[in-house]
Structure 1
Amino acid sequence: MAALWASRTPLTTSQVQAQVGAGLAYNTVQTILTRLAAKGLLERAERGRAHVYWPTKDEASSAAAQLRTTLRAVGDRGKVLREFAAGLDDDEAEILRQWLSERSGES
């Protein structure tokens, strides 16, 4: 996903393989891309004899969706949120405070 988020254009399997490196076989990369597309995380289109892939959401939106999924899966959401907030550094906490303040002003 990182290779696709970093790209400004859709990538072929070969291009993703080159970006990822790590000695992954072409078929392995192709299988991963196909599965991510089936899960709705990627879009896919034909380009000549190959397929190109691009993310359906940007990195921030995808991370936020994962956090929401995690929150829905736990019993005490408040505790999880408090633990998460307690681990933020000062800059991150300020970003969250500012956003919450702006959000409460919209009501």
Structure 2
Amino acid sequence: MRAFGDLEAAIMDSLWRRSGSATVRDILDDLASRRPAYTTVQTVMDNLYKKGWLRREPDGRAYRYDPTVTREEYGARQLRHALDGAGDPAEALVRFVEKMSDSETAALRQALAAYEGSDDPT
């Protein structure tokens, strides 16, 4: 799975920050500092829709878009893809954990404990 390009990532980030759906114009306003053309944003959002990353509903003559996955789900897919590309996924995980902060390691332990159904996060 290929990571998002720069504009794709900016569009997805804008959509993830919203509590609801957005039109191309809404996203264009969010990206004002980048100054992309309306048609460029429209094309990229249409491509993200065709790739399955966005869903859309008609809204007058336009569409309203929202993501099909959360930011966290996307991150999990990226991690899975990275592990699939590692020669030894277990070794890659060990090296990844070695680079984590103490608070990240603690959060990982808690998540694993919850996943395993344990009340003891140690």
2:65 corresponds to which letter in structure 1?
Y
Name the TM-score, length of structure 1 as normaliser: 0.91
Residue 16 of structure 1 pairs with residue 58 of structure 2: no
Cα deviation for residue 105 of structure 1 reads 4.0
Q: Within 2, Cα distance between the matches of 1:6 and 1:69?
A: 24
Higher helix share: 1
Query: d(CA) in 2 for partners of 1:87 and 1:20?
Result: 33
Runs of 4+ in 1 over 4 A off after TM superposition: none
Counterpart of 2:7 in structure 1 is none
RMSD between aligned alpha carbons? 1.3
Higher RCO (Cα < 8 Å, 6 or more apart): 1
Percent of matched pairs sharing the same residue: 35
- Classify the secondary structure of the residue corresponding to 1:11: coil
Counterpart CA distance in 1 for 2:66 and 2:115 is: 31
2-side partners of 1:84 and 1:12: how far apart? 38
| Mapping 1:1-107, distance limit 5 Å | 1-21=12-32, 22-105=34-117
Deviations 1:20-79 (A, max 9, x none): 221111111111111111111110111000011100111111111111122112221112
How many angstroms does 1:97 deviate by? 1.0
Q: Could you list the runs of 5+ residues in structure 1 that have no partner in the other structure?
A: none
Unaligned runs of 5+ in 2: 1-11
- Structure 1 Cα separation of the partners of residues 94 and 71 of structure 2: 24
> Which one is further off, 72-81 or 37-46?
72-81
- Give the Cα–Cα distance (whole angstroms) in 2 for the partners of residues 97 and 34 of structure 1: 39
